[in-house]
């Protein structure tokens, strides 16, 4: 399964994914799928630099499946991070 870099943005805590151009984006479908372990390690090292530069917190690699153009984390916890709570918000 492919991997993707996920983190929280420092300034507002929002969940972000690393895109191919190195930017951090809130849309998981715009995140870069990484199939190669060596590339994944290299991107994680880049993400740690972004962490040192105070852009993001706690970067890590998660397993993500590609369903056409959509990306879906393999684990429920990361799916909830990507898409928000599974429940309707109080109105």
Partner 1 sequence: MYRYDEFDRTLVSERVAQFRRQVARRLTGELSEDQFKPLRLMNGLYLQLHAYMLRINVPYGCLSSAQLRALARIARRYDRGYGHFTTRQNIQFNWIALADAPDIMADLAAVEMNTMQSSGNCVRNVTADHYAGRAADEIEDPRVWCELLRQYSILNPEFSYLPRKFKLALTGSPHDRAAVAVHDIGLRMYRDEQGRPGFEVIVGGGQGRTPAIGKTIRQWIEPRHIILYVEAILRVYNLYGRRDNIYKARIKILVTALGIDRFRELVDAEWEQIRATGPVIDDAERARIQACFAPPDYDRAAAGDDPSPAAGISDPAYDAWLRSNVVAHKVAGYAIVNLSLKAPGRVPGDLAADKMERVADLADRFSCGELRINHRQNLSFVDVRRRDLPVLWRALSTLELATPNIGLASDIIACPGLDYCSLANARSIPIAQDLSRHFADTDKLQQVGSLTINISGCMNACGHHHVGNIGILGVDKRGAEFFQLTLGGSADENPSLGDRLGRGLPQADVPAAIERIVDAYLALRGDDETFLQTYRRVGIEPFRAVVYEPQGTTRQVA
**Nearer to partner 1 (CB atom), residue 33 or residue 57:** 57
Q: Does 68 bind partner 1 (CB under 8 A)?
A: no
CB count within 10 Å of CB 53 equals: 9
The 10 Å Cβ neighbour count of residue 76 is 9
CB 30 within 8 A of CB 60: no
- Read off the tokens for 28: 């998981």
Tell me, residue by residue from 27 to 56, as one string, x for binding to partner 1 by CB under 8 A and - for no binding. Answer: ------------------------x-xx--
Binding site for partner 1 (CB under 8 A): 8, 10-15, 51, 53-54, 57-58, 75-77, 80-81, 84-87, 89-91
């Amino acid at each position: 399964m492919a991997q993707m870099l996920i983190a929280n943005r420092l300034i507002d805590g929002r969940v972000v994914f690393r895109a191919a151009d190195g930017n951090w984006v809130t849309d998981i479908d715009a995140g870069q799928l990484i199939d190669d372990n060596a590339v994944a390690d290299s991107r994680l090292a880049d993400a740690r630099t972004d962490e040192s530069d105070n852009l993001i917190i706690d970067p890590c690699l998660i397993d993500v499946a590609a369903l056409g153009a959509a990306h879906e984390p393999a684990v429920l916890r990361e799916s909830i991070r990507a898409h928000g709570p599974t429940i309707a918000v109080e109105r």
